Amino acid sequence: MDAAAAPARAARPTSPSRPPKAIRSTKPRGLDEDTAAPPAFPKCKSPSSSAAGGGAGAGAAASLLHHHADVPMDASVWAGLPDDLHLEVLARVPPFLLFRLRPVSRRWEAILHDPAFLAAHAAVPSHGPCLLTFSRGGGSHSPPHCSVLSVPLHARYKLPFGFLPPWDLWLVGSSGGLVCFSGFDGATFRTVVCNPLTQAWRVLPDMHCNQQRQLVLTVDKSRRSFKVIAASDVYGDKMLPTEVYDSKEDKWSVHQMMPAVNLCSSKMAFCDSRLYLETLSPLGLMMYRVDAGRWEHIPAKFPRSLLDGYLVAGARTRLFLVGRIGLYSTIQSMRIWELDHGRTVWVEISRMPPRYFRALLRLSAERFECFGQDNLICFTSWNQGKGLLYDVDKKAWSWIAGCASQLCNSQIEIKCFWGSNRAACEMSN
Distance CA 200, CA 271 (A): 26
User: Rounded mean pLDDT of 254-281?
Assistant: 77
What is the distance, to the nearest Å, from the Cα of residue 185 to the centroid of all Cα atoms in its chain?
26
B/e letters for 141-176, b = 16+ CB within 10 Å, e = fewer, are eebbbbbbbbbbbbbbbbbbbeebeebbbebbbbbb
What percentage of the chain exceeds 70 in pLDDT? Answer: 69
User: Rounded mean pLDDT of 407-426?
Assistant: 53
pLDDT at position 402, please? Answer: 58
Helix, coil or strand: residue 51: coil
Residue type, 422: R
pLDDT at position 422, please? Answer: 53
The lowest-confidence range among 35-39, 143-147, 157-161, 217-221 is: 35-39
pLDDT at position 41, please? Answer: 42
Does residue 398 or residue 37 have the better pLDDT?
Answer: 398
How confident is residue 205, by pLDDT bands cut at 50, 70 and 90? Answer: very high
pLDDT in tens, 45-65: 544 444 444 444 444 444 444
From residue 5, alpha-carbon distances to 8, 22, 70, 170, 303 in Å are 5, 13, 20, 55, 56
pLDDT in tens, 208-258: 888 888 899 998 888 889 999 998 776 666 778 889 999 999 999 998 777
pLDDT in tens, 382-412: 666 678 899 999 999 988 865 544 444 444 4
Beta strands in 318-367 (DSSP E): 319-325, 333-340, 345-351
pLDDT at 33 over 60: no
Angle at the Cα of 407 from the Cα atoms of 354 and 38, rounded to 5 degrees:
65
pLDDT at 21 over 50: no
Four-point Cα dihedral 235, 238, 244, 249, nearest 10: -100
pLDDT at 26 over 80: no
The lowest-confidence range among 148-157, 314-323, 377-386 is: 377-386
How confident is residue 413, by pLDDT bands cut at 50, 70 and 90? Answer: low
DSSP-assigned letter for residue 332: -
The lowest-confidence range among 1-10, 100-109, 147-156, 377-386 is: 1-10
Distance CA 95, CA 111 (A): 14
Q: Is the dihedral of CA 159, 160, 164, 166 positive or negative?
A: positive
Helices (H) and strands (E) in the chain, counts: 9, 26
Reference 377, options 368, 359, 395, 390; nearest CA is 390
pLDDT at 20 over 90: no
Distance CA 168, CA 137 (A): 8
Angle at the Cα of 94 from the Cα atoms of 93 and 97, rounded to 5 degrees:
90
The lowest-confidence range among 23-27, 99-103, 276-280, 411-415 is: 23-27
pLDDT at position 419, please? Answer: 61
pLDDT at 138 over 60: no
What percentage of the chain exceeds 90 in pLDDT? Answer: 17
Residue type, 362: R
pLDDT at position 352, please? Answer: 94
User: Rounded mean pLDDT of 91-117?
Assistant: 81
How confident is residue 266, by pLDDT bands cut at 50, 70 and 90? Answer: low
pLDDT at 16 over 50: no
User: Rounded mean pLDDT of 295-307?
Assistant: 87
CATH class of segment(s) 125-418: mainly beta
Given a contact cutoff of 8 angstroms between Cβ atoms, the answer to whether 60 and 101 are in contact is yes
Domain limits, the chain:
86-122, 125-418
